[in-house]
Structure 1
Amino acid sequence: MATYNPIRDMERFADALLEGSTRGPRRMPMDLYRDGDNYLLTADMPGMDPGSVDIDIDGQLLTIRAERTLPKAENVKWITRERTPGSFLRQLNLGQGIDTERITANYDNGVLSVTIPVSERAKPRKVQVSTGAPAGVDSSEVVVSEA
């Protein structure tokens, strides 16, 4: 039998206030880092139905939505209920230099992994340095003026 703990109830109350309304979308914790030519995003989404995970790209805005539903139980007396149902939302502005056509996602063991590739134009590259007069310029026509 669980005992009453007023501190735990106050923590839950504070969490609900800080999260906003329990009816509105909540944020999911995530990590984002660059590894070579890709950005990798991982988001914790335990208990989510993989079919409820929705990823949209609108221009440069990446939106991740998911829904957690809990089974309905009639004639049940809850001892404790900390897993709350609801919708989760996260939006990221991708900015320029992202290949939005090749973004991929995978959901495994409650973790969503999104691979966001860097576009070819945004990748670092070397510029070849040539010597002599630029192509198409006759070196006899180059005038050097002294100031």
Structure 2
Amino acid sequence: MAQELTTQDTRDVTTSNGDANRRAMAFTPAVDIFERDETTVIMADMPGVAPDDVDVTLERQILTLRGKVKPYAPEGYRLLSSEYRVGDYIRVFTLSDEVDQAKIKAEFKNGVLRLELPRSPETQPKKISVKAA
């Protein structure tokens, strides 16, 4: 139902809400994809992203997940050493016709984006009764 289209590791990040380009490292978030009954669930790890900085867009059949990370520095301190690489997250999937795009749900909690992609009723398996002749 969901297939990865492209991944990126670049320094030019464009936001879909019209913000100007900004220089940032872009990471591909790790995802787990599950299926139960008539729903596919995608869970994407985006540590360091605030809920307000998550952007999920769907254009035609292209699902784009973005997360913007704001660098953190405690007030009054100067950075001496840093091993943690700060950057934004981006992952792009192409959805099949089976997904009911109007009923996609998204939730973000503790750095994990959870998307529910329900299958449209028209594409769900149907039981065909067979009559004895």
Q: TM-score, normalised by structure 2?
A: 0.75
Structure 1 segment 12-27 matched on structure 2, within 5 A: 19-21=9-11, 23-27=24-28
How far is the alpha carbon of 1:86 from its aligned partner?
2.1
Amino acid at match of 1:35: R
How far is the alpha carbon of 1:56 from its aligned partner?
0.5
- Give, in whole Å, the separation in 2 of the partners of 1:77 and 1:104: 39
Determine what percentage of the aligned residue pairs are the same residue: 26
Larger Rg: 1 or 2?
1
Give secondary structure in 2 for the equivalent of 1:52.
strand
How far is the alpha carbon of 1:77 from its aligned partner?
3.9
Indicate the RMSD between aligned Cα atoms, in angstroms. 2.2
How far is the alpha carbon of 1:63 from its aligned partner?
0.5
Quote the residue 1:78 is aligned against: 80
Structure that is richer in helix per residue: 1
Q: Deviations over 1:85-117 (max 9, x none)?
A: 222111111111110000001111111111110
- Give, in whole Å, the separation in 1 of the partners of 2:52 and 2:100: 25
Q: Deviations over 1:55-106 (max 9, x none)?
A: 0011111110111111356761423x13322221111111111100000011
List alignment gaps of at least 5 residues for structure 2.
1-8, 12-22
Which contiguous aligned blocks of 4+ residues in structure 1 show a shift greater than 4 angstroms?
19-22, 72-75
Q: TM-score, normalised by structure 1?
A: 0.68
Structure 1 segment 1-147 matched on structure 2, within 5 A: 19-21=9-11, 23-72=24-73, 76-79=78-81, 81-132=82-133
Does the 8 Å contact 1:67/1:85 carry over to 2? no
Change in Cα spacing, 1:77 to 1:68, as seen in structure 2 (3 Å) is closer
- Give, in whole Å, the separation in 1 of the partners of 2:128 and 2:83: 57
Amino acid at match of 1:126: K
- Give, in whole Å, the separation in 2 of the partners of 1:122 and 1:33: 18
Does the 8 Å contact 2:25/2:86 carry over to 1? no
List alignment gaps of at least 5 residues for structure 1.
1-18, 133-147
Greater RCO (CA < 8 Å, at least 6 residues apart): 2
